[in-house]
Amino acid sequence: MTESQKNEITDLITESLNDAESVWNEVGHHFSITEGRAVVLAKAAANTRIPGHPIIEDGAPKVDDFICLIADMRDSTKHMLHHISQKTTSVNTLQRVYYETSALLPALAMAIDWDRGSVTEYLGDGILALFNASANRADAVYSSHRAAKNCMQALEEVINPILQKRYQLPELEIGIGIAFSKAVVTLVGLEDNKLPKVFGECVFRASKLANKRNEIVIDVAMKNIWPTAKDGKISFKEVSGRSSEIGYLIQNPTKRVI
């Protein structure tokens, strides 16, 4: 991630948090905290943009190759239910998670967008992004991994410092899962409110592998399509995800030019 990109994410987060504070000042008094529990604030998903499929017709499903990237904030439920000492920060539990996600989600989306990926769903405390892998599979592999690394760098060097400076909040941690498969692109929902959706193993497996802390885990299909290294071998370390899903950490990624 370049300095220009860091500045771009910084500006985006600052604007997003300013908006979040304005919203909270308007509606925050409606949400009360009782017995350590908070009312969960849900936000509708953004418009879906499926790469390679700008128009989806009802009754005409498509099948394509996708790489799915899911980034998930760790401990968001804990942040919602457990107070931080007022000596440390002035924000309450619900307010904390609202500000954290207001900074995190658009920043991750921007990092994804830089590498031609599309965030197709916001998951409350994370994102689901897709990269079309049908035309140039190697490029999609490199782009998705580079986007994941930029997400991690943005978290460490931009998002966390801003949240700490503005609200004295502890550092956020995220898990990123990346998986490859064929998937069906179709419309789902009621007749007057159908939305584009991607169904495939890549979505399921990426969600199961996004359970580590500040690590990027890929699935076996992604490992199998990883292009051969040109300037030194790359290795993969096997790890387990949710429900015993097997994934892989990439070892020595700096030896690969991507």
Q: pLDDT by residue (tens digit) across 175-205?
A: 999 999 999 887 777 667 777 888 899 999 9
Q: Quick check: is 199 in a domain?
A: yes
What total number of domains does the chain contain?
A: 1
Q: How many CB atoms lie within 10 A of CB 245?
A: 20
What single letter denotes the amino acid at residue 201?
E
Its domain, for residue 193, covers: 3-20+41-255
Q: Quick check: is 30 in a domain?
A: no
Q: Quick check: is 163 in a domain?
A: yes
Residue 207 sits in a domain of what CATH number? 3.30.70.1230
Radius of gyration of the chain (CA): 19
Q: What pLDDT digit, counting tens, does each position of 201-246 carry? A: 999 999 999 999 999 999 999 999 999 865 456 789 999 888 888 9
pLDDT of residue 52: 85
Report yes or no: 50 and 130 within 8 Å, Cβ to Cβ.
yes
pLDDT of residue 38: 43
Alpha-carbon span 6 to 1, nearest angstrom: 7
Phi first, then psi: give them for residue 130, nearest 5 degrees.
Answer: -125, 145
**Opening angle at CA 150, ends 146 and 153, nearest 5:** 140
Cα–Cα nearest to 219, from 252, 245, 183:
245
Q: Quick check: is 25 in a domain?
A: no
